[in-house]
Amino acid sequence: MNTGELVDLGQQLRVDSVRASAAAGSGHPTSSMSAADLMAVLLAHHLRYDFERPAHPGNDRFVLSKGHASPLLYSAYKAAGAIDDEELLTFRKLGSRLEGHPTPQRLPWVETATGSLGQGLPVGVGIALAGKRLDRTDYRVWVLCGDSEMAEGSVWEAAEHAGHEHLDNLVVIVDVNRLGQRGPTRHGHDLDAYARRFRAFDWHTVEIDGHDVDAIDRAYGEALSTQGQPTAIIARTLKGKGVEAVEDREGQHGKPLPEAEEAIAELGGARDLRVRVQEPPAARALHSAGTGETELPRYDKGDEVATRNAFGEALAALGTARGDVVALDGEVGDSTRAEYFAKEHPERYFECYIAEQQMVAAAVGMAARGWVPFATSFAAFLTRAYDFVRMASVSGSGINLVGSHAGVAIGQDGPSQMGLEDIAMMRAVHGSTVLYPCDANQTARLVAEMAGLEGIRYLRTSRGGSKVIYGADEEFPVGGSKVLRSSDEDRLTVVAAGVTVHEALAAADALERDGIRVRVIDLYSVKPVDRATLRQAAEDTGCLLTVEDHRREGGIGDAVLDAFTDGRPVPRLVRLAVETMPGSASPAEELHAAGIDAQSIEAAGRMLVEQAIVP
């Protein structure tokens, strides 16, 4: 396209953004209009993409980090012939694929769900890493960001990661339109403020007028020819560009234009330009082959093995069997035992340093390219990435997260290092799976199994050794549980998981010595939960006691309730959980102080059986 045609295409994208938002009665046309020329030139001259084959391995990848500018994205899809005008005007309506913020659950051309700002670039870094180190295909990753979102620390985690990894297949375009949601941004039109930050993180930068299509074209060309560094194109733009009533004005964020018809006329009226987007180059298939046979580690009953160790060994074995498994860790691989994988499969291991948001985002990016990522940190520190986990579920992304050092059982390091909210956090994520093994063989089996699931899969591991209580051939289906003690005379069911399983068994022994038979259930699958077994236990024993190394709220006790909310009678219930703020102490002292050790279970169980009120 020549200059005039590119200008025209930009105007068309503006007009269609205005039209879509007007039809919806809501949306972000002004945020779309600032970036319209940047998008027009990308689409017409630089993007290599086959809209009919979004899975084509050679396709460039485009991420709209400023997801609220979805009208611009959908207008570009229309210009590329991927959607028609009728569909464009379904924007934001019930059942439409064209949501307020784009998601890959609905549209095959969207790489990741955006709408929580500061996430597009970190996910783009993950895709670019996959391109360089896994797919080894020379697609480009283009990320369009807003200027407001530069305030998010996750953007600088991503900048650091990309600069350090020399991701010259990554281009970020910052649409500096000066205005955030509620008014001016921190840096206004000071392009150099952004450029010098990116340069400090070892990026190549180009500053341009984001409405000069020739300058944009040259900048993209410069980015494509830059070796050894990612490129940030810092573009000065005007929000609402092209319509005087809204252009560069405050108070015009996130609403349709006041006079859509006049605005469209001012923009030169509706057009129907079509862009022939460049074909991607031929590219080879993904993934290195594995052996296909997973030889999981096997542990002897009675040995003491930490579940984090079993996780590491199982992950390394899984990596041998499956060439599509990759691992990422937040600079604690020696603790999480992800380093066992790193030693066996260094080419598929990603050190993310202490940047949990970037770690999860990179996993999402790699999953978008068909890889099966395991991202690991302390369970406590995965809270850092909660918004990324939440958005991963909006994307429908399939990622494995593993949190080590769960609960007060870690001992002396104290509460800052204790994962005590992780189950609540992960259970609340839509479509998630939450697993919490109590021994090494169970851990190994669950690692292999979780890799094959959909959605967000979370495994919780423990720091200290646990006695191996299951044989190496035992199976642990997700959604199941194990009944470890059972008799016809059971008067109480104790439901435990992870470290408390061993405490529950000891408590059951003690109660049995007093003639109180106890059923013990190992609830290794916290979500989904084994409703049938819990229901049966409740019917058989009349009462349930749950015990967990986690906060009372949102954890195993709450999960058990899932079995009893269909309107049928509910058993008598008591929950034991961590209800104090722990300090430093030995693991055994911590369990006792929190009231979740064998002695506490025994005491509460006795009261429950005696139908006393448990304080």
List the interface residues with a copy of itself, window 53-82 (CB under 8 A): 67
Residue 151 makes contact with a copy of itself by CB under 8 A = yes
Which of 14, 427, 463, 482 touches a copy of itself (CB under 8 A)?
Answer: 427
Rg of the chain, C-alpha, whole Å? 27
Residue type at position 233: I
Site for a copy of itself in 480-539 (CB under 8 A): 527
Q: Please, what is the minimum distance in Å from the beta carbon of residue 278 to a copy of itself?
A: 30
Q: Please, what is the minimum distance in Å from the beta carbon of residue 429 to a copy of itself?
A: 7
Residue 230 makes contact with a copy of itself by CB under 8 A = no
| Complex with a copy of itself: residue 91 or 371, whichever CB lies closer | 91
Q: Which two tokens stand for residue 536?
A: 């049966």
Residue in 398, 422, 418 with CA at minimum distance from that of residue 409: 418
CB of 598 closer than 8 Å to CB of 499: no
Q: Please, what is the minimum distance in Å from the beta carbon of residue 289 to a copy of itself?
A: 29
Which of 24, 174, 392, 501 touches a copy of itself (CB under 8 A)?
Answer: 24
Q: Please, what is the minimum distance in Å from the beta carbon of residue 95 to a copy of itself?
A: 7
Distance CA 422, CA 407 (A): 9
Residue 100 makes contact with a copy of itself by CB under 8 A = yes
Q: Please, what is the minimum distance in Å from the beta carbon of residue 35 to a copy of itself?
A: 17
| Complex with a copy of itself: residue 421 or 549, whichever CB lies closer | 421
Q: Please, what is the minimum distance in Å from the beta carbon of residue 382 to a copy of itself?
A: 9
Distance CA 459, CA 448 (A): 11
| Complex with a copy of itself: residue 47 or 117, whichever CB lies closer | 117
Contacts of 485 (CB under 8 A, 6+ apart): 505, 508, 518, 519, 520
Residue 464 makes contact with a copy of itself by CB under 8 A = no
Q: Please, what is the minimum distance in Å from the beta carbon of residue 552 to a copy of itself?
A: 8
589 is catalytic: no
Q: Please, what is the minimum distance in Å from the beta carbon of residue 363 to a copy of itself?
A: 16
Distance spanning both ends of the chain, measured CA to CA: 76
Residue 417 makes contact with a copy of itself by CB under 8 A = yes
CB of 161 closer than 8 Å to CB of 221: no
Distance CA 309, CA 330 (A): 17
Catalytic hit among 356, 503, 548, 602:
356
Residue in 311, 338, 391, 393 with CA at minimum distance from that of residue 120: 391
Distance CA 366, CA 237 (A): 32
Residue 164 makes contact with a copy of itself by CB under 8 A = yes
Distance CA 575, CA 289 (A): 47
| Complex with a copy of itself: residue 26 or 278, whichever CB lies closer | 26
Helix (H, G, I), strand (E, B) or coil at 543: strand
Count of C-beta atoms within a 10 Å radius of residue 354: 13
DSSP secondary structure letters along 457-489:
EEEE--SSEEE--S-TT----TT--EEEE--TT
Site for a copy of itself in 304-363 (CB under 8 A): 331-335, 339, 353-355, 357-358
| Complex with a copy of itself: residue 423 or 598, whichever CB lies closer | 423
Which of these segments, 5-13, 311-319, 375-383, 513-521, binds a copy of itself (CB under 8 A)?
Answer: 375-383
Residue 182 makes contact with a copy of itself by CB under 8 A = yes
| Complex with a copy of itself: residue 49 or 340, whichever CB lies closer | 340
Residue 116 makes contact with a copy of itself by CB under 8 A = yes
Which of 6, 40, 429, 596 touches a copy of itself (CB under 8 A)?
Answer: 429
Contacts of 591 (CB under 8 A, 6+ apart): 408, 409, 499, 503, 549, 597
Residue type at position 228: G
| Complex with a copy of itself: residue 323 or 587, whichever CB lies closer | 587
Active site residues: 356
